[in-house]
Amino acid sequence: MSPLLITLTDSIKAGRRKQAVEGTQAALGEELPPQDILASLIAGMNDVGRRFKANEIFVPEVLIAARAMKDSMGLLEPVLVKAGIEPDYTAIIGTVEGDLHDIGKNLVGMMWKGANFKVVDLGINVPASRFAEAAQEHNANIVGLSALLTTTMDAMAESVSAIIAAKLPNTKVMVGGAPITQEFSDSIGAHGFAPDAASAVDIARQFVGDN
Ligand code: B1M
């Protein structure tokens, strides 16, 4: 592999934003294949996810790495689009109705982007019907629901029911957030639960058979 791409992966791992941007510019300048540049960025974020899950790093480090990834992707994306290379899978994400917490939801969205999913973020306080409409509109592979309040767990259950009722054969529902457990996820009929943002990537990959 080109030494430039190895350095690029290391820049993402370390969350070095300026170095990641310069590395992406240099790789594009050398006309390295854009999918190889993308793969080296994803490899960096995969490592960040692994260390986050192992409690070797914490939320701030993940956010810093995700920001470096985002800025590099800003340069790479137009080149990928021009070359006709787009993410294979689409994920919708949002915080359920009545709930305004978005830090964890944003982290999951960033990690999904880092794993090369197209992410449509519906924001906070999202009504159940909106999740179902968006899943249909974007032909989503995954709908991710986040809830941080015990009082909004009912809204999560309603959202899952609305998405399942829309009978979308290719759409799987993932739930998460501090009060959510595997048992609760099973009880409301979600397809999967992730306790943290790194596991949300693993489950998303399992959903689309890409693991
Ligand atoms: Co709020 N709040 N808050 N709050 N707040 C909590 C959640 C609370 C536990 C604090 C407490 O009392 N100890 C408590 C809930 C109690 C309960 O329901 N049992 C609480 C409360 C009561 C409230 C208010 C009602 C307070 C009030 O007004 N009286 C109010 C409600 C507003 C509303 O939503 N309607 C409120 C408001 C707020 C702020 C606006 C001030 C602010 C939110 C800012 C924002 O999000 N932009 C806030 C904050 C910051 C918190 C705490 C301190 C931190 C939450 C957070 O961001 N954690 C929180 C206490 C705490 O957790 N220590 C608290 C960091 C984040 C990275 O973790 O979101 O858990 P988390 O995400 C993790 C995983 O859960 C998982 O991955 C993430 C990363 O690994 N995950 C998913 C999350 N979503 C996922 C989705 C997935 C998969 C995994 O798949 C799709």
Confidence of residue 180 (pLDDT cuts 50, 70, 90): very high
Alpha carbon of 164 to ligand 1 centroid (Å): 26
- Return the higher-pLDDT residue of 194 and 86: 194
Q: How far apart (Å, rounded) are the C-alpha atoms in residues 44 and 39? A: 9
Tell me the Ramachandran region of residue 45: left when phi exceeds 0, alpha when psi lies from -120 to 50, beta otherwise: alpha
Structure confidence by residue, pLDDT tens digits, 107-116: 999 999 989 9
Write down the pLDDT at residue 85: 87
Write down the pLDDT at residue 1: 82
Q: Where are the beta strands (DSSP E) in the chain?
A: 89-95, 117-121, 142-146, 172-176, 192-193
Is 104 touching ligand 1 by the criterion CB < 6 Å?
yes
Write down the pLDDT at residue 211: 67
Alpha carbon of 147 to ligand 1 centroid (Å): 8
Residue 92's beta-bridge partner residues? 120, 143
Quick check: 156 pLDDT over 70? yes
Q: What is the CATH number of domain 89-208?
A: 3.40.50.280
Sequence-distant (6+) residues with CB within 8 A of 104 are 146, 148, 176, 177, 178, 197
Q: How far apart (Å, rounded) are the C-alpha atoms in residues 145 and 152? A: 11
Residue nearest to atom 69 of ligand 1 (CA): 104
Write down the pLDDT at residue 81: 85
Domain ranges of the chain: 3-82, 89-208
Ligand 1 atom with minimal separation from the 102 CA:
46
Residue nearest to atom 82 of ligand 1 (CA): 176
Average pLDDT over residues 94-107: 96
Q: How far apart (Å, rounded) are the C-alpha atoms in residues 117 and 32? A: 22
Cα torsion for 14, 24, 73, 17, to the nearest 10°?
A: 30
Average pLDDT over residues 123-134: 98
Q: What is the CATH number of domain 3-82?
A: 1.10.1240.10
Quick check: 83 pLDDT over 90? no
pTM of this structure: 0.92
